[in-house]
Amino acid sequence: MKAQRMDRSVAIAAREYAPYLEATWGFKNHWYPAFFSQEISENEIKAVTIAGHDIVLRRVHGRLFGLRDKCAHRGARFSQEPMCLNDESITCWYHGFTYGLSDGVLKTILASPEDPIIGKVRIRTYPVEERGGMVFIFVGDEDYRPLPTLESDQPPRMTDNPVFPYLFDENVFSRGIHRTVNSNWRLGMENGNDPTHILIHRKNFYVVMSGSKLPLGFLPASPEAGKFIEMPDGQKGVWGVNHDHYRPIMENRYLGLSVPKPVAGPRIDTYRISSWMPSALLVEDFPGSEWSTIEWYVPIDDTRHEYWQVALKLCRDENDRKAAAEFYETIGLPIGFENFNEIDLVARERLQQHYQDPEQFGQEAFFAGDIAIVSWRKLASRFNRGIQAAPQQSER
């Protein structure tokens, strides 16, 4: 009877976030990070895949243009052998089909400049915005209108905590990395905002070095723990670890485990973690005091995501920026992002072995500590702008 009740509760929960269970390839009609600005130099071509969309970018006179990375003629990818013969177009290396950067229309064919199909064939283009030292692409339906603001798809300025920076602040120091992880994007999102996965970090060098004493996990302590956050600029999110809404668990009597309170140094209980549409995490007070980190889990396909980590610090002057850069290079990057978060990558890739069968999403035996994950699934199901279908081979 108890097992039947558990099966029923799992089934009810799954119905409440059914759209999320279908989002194997991610959500469409959202802005996603593609590159750091410094990764695309003048007149350079770069390729990226987001939610199954193969996109090629070209920078001309500082401006970035995004197009489908596939010639309409025979399907050759522009990025395989970049060819640009003027500042207004991109040319396919195979037969010389040349398309306008701004509209994707076929402008000429190298060996047939009077061909009747010129001007009648086109490839799709993608909106691109470059802000905060990053390149963002709007991925989804080509005719989706009105185009949402870039701000609506970024973790917001947390107005109740003004010491923490915002990605688009003018006086913010911003530095980060991104890398490909062999797991579905949802496993990244749920790992980042999981209040009880802290167990896997208990022996991490960052934790030992900082003097932190990690609790065994966090459980909800108020009704706010599962409530949605809706911000004035349109951002939609949900709380993870936040000591206004969660309490740390310091002992387990059955196992004879207890965690002493820290006597000095930075503490894990200063962190606040929140998840934001379409696939971002905001961590306040990491990798250091008065820093923030934004993590994005950008779907590539159904089994891989691009993991972004960007550290932010408000700086009053050039001396502050130099100090921030030194902290990032010596502690934030090697100890925080690479060492501390490396075990998260391992955990996601191990879970992918189970979730290789997408039917496993929605079959979990969730407990009280999973409220942040369940709330995220419900939020994402309600506020997404569309579910990206698995692309047909002809679409890619």
Please give the CATH number for the structural domain made up of 30-129.
2.102.10.10
Contacts of 228-235 spanning 24+ positions with Cβ under 8 A = 228/375, 228/379, 228/382, 229/274, 231/156, 233/149, 233/151, 233/152, 233/156, 234/148, 234/149, 234/151, 234/152, 235/151, 235/152, 235/153, 235/154, 235/155, 235/156, 235/276, 235/277
**From 3.40.1380.10, 3.90.380.10, 3.90.1010.10, 1.10.287.3510, which CATH number describes the 148-383 domain?**
3.90.380.10
Per-residue b or e along 174-202, where b marks 16 or more CB atoms closer than 10 Å to that residue's CB: bbbebeebebbbbbbbbbbbbbbbbeebe
pTM above 0.85, yes or no: yes
CA neighbor of 286 nearest in space, from 327, 251, 323: 327
Beta bridge partners of 109: 97
Angle, nearest 10°, between helix axes 342-355 and 185-192? 130
pLDDT for res 270: 62
* Paired tokens of 143: 């005719």
Domain with CATH 2.102.10.10 in the chain: 30-129
User: 246: helix, coil or strand?
Assistant: strand
Pairing of strands 97-100, 106-109: antiparallel
Angle, nearest 10°, between helix axes 371-383 and 185-192? 130
Q: Spell out the per-residue pLDDT of the chain, length 396, in tens.
A: 444 444 555 555 568 899 999 999 999 999 999 999 999 999 999 999 999 999 999 999 999 999 999 999 999 999 999 999 999 999 999 999 999 999 999 999 999 999 999 999 999 999 999 999 999 999 999 999 999 999 999 999 887 777 889 999 989 999 999 999 999 999 999 999 998 888 888 777 766 666 666 788 889 998 888 889 999 889 999 998 887 889 888 899 999 988 876 544 444 456 789 999 999 999 998 998 899 999 999 999 999 999 999 999 999 999 999 999 999 999 999 998 998 899 999 999 999 999 999 889 989 999 999 999 999 999 999 999 999 999 875 566
Domain with CATH 3.90.380.10 in the chain: 148-383
pLDDT for res 16: 87
